[in-house]
Amino acid sequence: MPRISPLTIETASPEASQTLEAIKGKIGMVPNIYATLAHAPAALTALLGFGEAVGQSSLSPALREQIALTIAGVNSCDYCASAHTMIGKGAGVNEDELASNLAGNASDSKTQAFLTLAKRIVEKQGHLSDAEVAEARDAGITDQEIIEVLAVVAQNIFTNYFNHIADPEIDFPVVRTGQAVS
């Protein structure tokens, strides 16, 4: 049972209701994370705006989902593991790869470099060593991409922590972070 109950389009404030209507119009449903965030319209708008901006990054939609899964795995967020597995499939990543990504692993060496960077950012709270930044660069990750990975990490830490606090009901096919494939 959620700690903070989701709102509906009818019960949300006018500002949040309009945002929820837009989400429903875009994806055909209002996921519980957004319905619950509607209690704080500014937070909902901020998350959506941040997501839209990150969507303009040089990182592909598939890679952003793979990073999101790695972060969900590190932070043990089943809601995000479930949502990003479904979205990742839609972005063209196969199910086995997504399960590996949840554990921070990838079959491709360049993707692995991105996931390693993201995982280190979370685990070290951003305190990367010179050697770790050099390792990312040596793997072909540009300074722009390092910053964009940080943006994806920040966005996903927010949703992971929100889900830990609010505990919304998972409204996607359920994936448990304990099921990550090492």
Tell me the domain boundaries of the chain.
14-54, 61-179
Q: What was the pLDDT predicted at 57? A: 98
Q: Which fold has domain 14-54?
A: 1.20.5
Q: What is the pLDDT of residues 72-93, one digit of tens each?
A: 999 999 999 999 999 999 999 9
pLDDT in tens, 36-60: 999 999 999 999 999 999 999 999 9
Check if 14-54 and 61-179 are the same fold: no
- Compute the average pLDDT of residues 1-24: 97
What's the confidence (pLDDT) of residue 6? 98
Model confidence band, residue 178 (pLDDT cutoffs 50, 70, 90): confident
**Burial of 127 by CB count in 10 Å (0-12 exposed, 13-18 middle, 19+ buried)?**
exposed
User: Would you state the pLDDT for residue 182?
Assistant: 61
Q: Quote the mean pLDDT of the chain.
A: 97
The mean per-residue pLDDT over the stretch 17-36 comes to: 97
pLDDT above 70 covers a percentage of the chain that reads 98
Query: Which tens digit of pLDDT belongs to each residue from 104-145?
Result: 999 999 999 999 999 999 999 999 999 999 999 999 999 999
CA distance 41 to 143: 33
Question: Any idea which fold 61-179 has?
Answer: AhpD-like (1.20.1290)
The per-residue DSSP string of 65-122 comes to HHHHHHHHHHTT-HHHHHHHHHHHHHTT--HHHHHHHHTT--SSHHHHHHHHHHHHHH
Return the pLDDT at 117: 98
pLDDT of residue 180: 60
